[in-house]
Homo-oligomer: A and B are copies of this chain.
Amino acid sequence: MTQETPQPQLDTIASADGDGRNERHRSRMARKKAVIDDKIAQAQRDCGVIVITTGNGKGKSSSGFGMVVRAMGHGMKTGVVQFIKGAIPTGEEKFLRRFPEECEFHVMGEGYTWETQDRTRDIAKAEAAWEQARRMLRDPSFGLVLFDELNIALKLGYLDVSTVIADLQARPEMQHVVITGRGAPQALVDAADTVTDMTPVKHAFAQGIRAQAGVEM
């Protein structure tokens, strides 16, 4: 969040062009910087955070995978458990399986709930997936873990929300957890640090364009 101030020479040139727009921009940005710096000064705690991406819009899982590679860039070991998806090998799975030392990847689901149509089997899969997740939550060598589509498993009642929250809260202090999927339960939202609702504005699918490799899968 820190950065050198602009070079004095460039400022002089900017003022010399006479329209005052640069000067107004500078003073507006200086005020903005003061407000932001003050907020930064007040936020000094470091700890693992729980991030939830939910809602009906596109970008929930992809933002989770973006955080996984961001963490890998910082040298963290990461873990991924996919709860619902699984029938179709995805680009993110193909890519991340190239780095087994950096990212432990588990696909535990068998596909979307409307494809399996079998609640007993879906519950057994979700429970097995949560066992993998719990193991990661007890292992401080994982810097960031992603539980993709966990919200859906919770929403459908495949897993008990209070058990999941207790396991999350017992994790190592510096471990980050990212949880994705529509319909995050309120108790999980309450237990999280950062929550984003991905709100759809428009979607290519509605315009007759099918799911595109690289974008949706």
Contacts and interface: CB of A to CB of B under 8 A. Distances in A.
A61 B64 CA distance: 11
A161 interface: no
B57 A197 contact: yes
A206 B9 CA distance: 37
Contact of A33 (B115, B196, B204): B115
A118 to B, nearest CB: 4
A62 B194 CA distance: 14
A120 B10 contact: yes
B116 A91 contact: no
A141 interface: no
Nearest to A113: B29
A30 B118 CA distance: 10
A22 to B, nearest CB: 5
Interface string A108-134: 001101111111110000000000000
B201 A11 contact: no
14 contacts: A14-B118, A14-B120, A25-B117, A42-B208, A46-B210, A58-B194, A59-B63, A59-B66, A65-B69, A71-B214, A72-B91, A192-B202, A193-B204, A194-B202
